[in-house]
Amino acid sequence: MSAPPRAADTAAAADSYQRGQARVAAAAAVAAIAAWRGINGKALDLSWLAVLTRLLPIVSGAQRKAAAAAPAYVGELLALQDAAATAVRLADGAFAGLTGDGRPMATLLYAPVALAKQRIGAGMRIADALAAEELHLAVLVRTQVQDAGRMGLQAAMAAEPKIRGYVRHVNLPACARCIILAGRFYRYSAGFQRHPNCDCTMIPAAGEQWVESQDPAELIAQMRDQHAAKLRRSLTEGDLKALEHGADLNQVVNAHRGMSTAAGRSITREGTTRRGFAGKRLIAEAGSRPGGRYRRAVAVRLTPAQIFDEAARLNWGRGEIVRQLTRFGYII
């Protein structure tokens, strides 16, 4: 077997990929902020609906762009590992217009409006309420675009038989919860733990031996030197002192509230009519029923996150994961 690539090569590729994802997400967040600043605080619902029709295509387009970058990234990493990639055609549009848990994006984008109304109703000045929810909206949009990219990447990894798993790659500055997961090798089917605004990404790998891992202890040391204030947002002074006295980093961090992927069984109605890519497959499989203008599949459509959750729970092999991703319209 050829020698493993230099860690700098795979890390550089991961950093470049993540920067591209971050740029796409940031541009969508900027568009969301611009839309929000046009809202009328005395007529929140009416004015927000007017800009939502312009904002939704921007967010959905960013989600699609983020997901579409996955196959090329997988191919680049395989090339660094002396392996030729299979041609994977991703249905990138299937990752657009939905939240990570399968809700229509419009539902999530309304959340800041509802919360602004609550703040105003509780006595907050309109301008202050709008300023608080502007930041909230930007975080929501940025997170959903990056989540679409991650789901697209997991689908592309599942469709590539040479990929055995991925290594979690942390971009500093980062929270302690992410740092303790840095460098770990996961099966390609393992769900990716993340939080709002998470900048971590995955390095696809043909095997654990092909990618050198980041050392969480070294990352914590870098955070102390370069981002001390941000490190204290996730670790207390007591935590840091405990580490200085030899405490286990994982135990210290896990004493705090942990992360999770998606809770419950995430499904979506999006794309399940006879006009939808997934809908055609699901209708052929289990039939349809009336659903507005077009007939809708009887079978529910799982989100990508739910597929990987069930893969882990039911111990699915690659073939079954690819079958499910194809069945629900995420792989063409």
Half-sphere exposure at residue 122, Cβ-oriented, CA atoms within 13 angstroms: 9
In this prediction, residues 11-16 reach a mean pLDDT of 90
58 and 126, same domain (yes or no): yes
**What is the full DSSP assignment across 75-99?**
HHHHHHTT-PPP---B-GGGGSSB-
> In the structure, what pLDDT confidence band is assigned to residue 245 with cuts at 50, 70 and 90?
low
Q: Which range, of 25-34, 118-127, 227-236, 255-264, averages the lowest pLDDT?
A: 255-264
The residue with tokens 């900027």 is 30
pLDDT band at 33 (very low <50, low <70, confident <90, very high): very high
More confident residue, 68 or 265: 68
Task: Give the pLDDT confidence score for residue 153 in this predicted structure.
Answer: 95
Query: In this structure, are 162 and 43 located in the same domain?
Result: yes
Transcribe 185-238 into DSSP letters.
EEETTS-----TT---EEEEESSGGGSPPP-HHHHHHHHHHH-HHHHTTTS-HH
Predicted confidence at residue 247, as pLDDT, reads: 65
CA-closest candidate to residue 151, choices 14, 264, 304: 304
The answer to whether residue 220 sits within a structural domain is no
Q: What is the pLDDT of residue 238?
A: 63
**What's the pLDDT score for residue 117?**
94
> From the DSSP assignment, how many helices (H) and strands (E) are in the chain?
14, 7
Domain residues for the domain of 322 are 267-327
Q: Is residue 300 part of a domain?
A: yes
Is 186 among the domain residues? yes
- Which of 56-65, 142-151, 234-243, 268-277 is predicted with the least confidence, judged by mean pLDDT? 234-243
How many whole angstroms separate alpha carbon 158 and alpha carbon 180? Answer: 25
Work out the end-to-end distance of the chain between its first and last CA atoms, rounded to an integer number of angstroms.
33
Do 22 and 112 lie in one domain? The reply is: yes
User: Is it the case that residue 36 has pLDDT exceeding 60?
Assistant: yes
As for how many domains the chain has, the answer is 2
225 within a domain of the structure (yes/no): no
pLDDT surpasses 60 at 260: no
Total length of the chain? 332
Q: How many CB atoms lie within 10 A of CB 133?
A: 23
pLDDT of res. 258: 35
Separation between Cα atoms, residue 170 and residue 26, nearest integer Å? 18
Same domain, residue pair 311 and 196: no
Domain boundary (210, 233, 256) is at 210
The answer as to whether 246 is a domain residue is: no
Amino acid sitting at position 3:
A
Closest CA to 62 of 149, 139, 138, 134: 149
| Judgement on whether residues 284 and 172 belong to the same structural domain of the protein | no
Cα–Cα distance, 33 to 321 (Å, whole number): 37
- DSSP letters for 285-326: HH-EE--TTS-EESS-EE-HHHHHHHHHHHT--HHHHHHHHH
Residue 58, in any domain of the structure: yes
Examine residue 261 and state whether it is found in any structural domain, yes or no.
no
Q: What is the mean pLDDT of the chain?
A: 84
Same domain for 201 and 310, yes or no, is no
pTM for this predicted structure:
0.79
Residue 185 phi/psi, 5-degree rounding, is: -95, 130
Query: Do 148 and 280 share a domain, yes or no?
Result: no
Residue 217: closest CA among 277, 176, 163, 268: 176
What pLDDT was estimated at residue 118? 94
Segment 263-288 mean pLDDT: 75
Q: Are 224 and 179 in contact (CB under 8 A)?
A: no
Most confident of 48-62, 239-253, 305-319: 48-62
Residue with the bigger pLDDT between 7 and 325: it is 325
Out of 145, 180, 210, pick the residue that ends a domain. Answer: 210
- Bin 187: left if φ > 0, else alpha if -120 < ψ < 50, else beta: beta
Q: Is residue 253 part of a domain?
A: no
| Best CA proximity match to 264, nearest among 103, 27, 80, 116 | 103
Please tell me the predicted confidence (pLDDT) of residue 261.
37
Place of tokens 């990508």: 304
What b-and-e string marks burial along 155-187, b requiring 16 or more CB atoms within 10 Å of the CB? bbbbbbebbbbbbbbbbbbbbbbbbbbbbebbe
| Stretch 73-96: mean pLDDT | 86
- pLDDT greater at residue 101 or residue 172: 172
Check whether 300 has a pLDDT greater than 80.
no
Q: What is the mean pLDDT of residues 40-51?
A: 90
- Cis status, amide bond into 4, omega within 30 of 0: no
Residue 74 is predicted with a pLDDT of 93
Cβ partners under 8 Å of residue 281, min gap 6: 326, 327, 328, 329
Tell me what pLDDT residue 277 has. Answer: 72
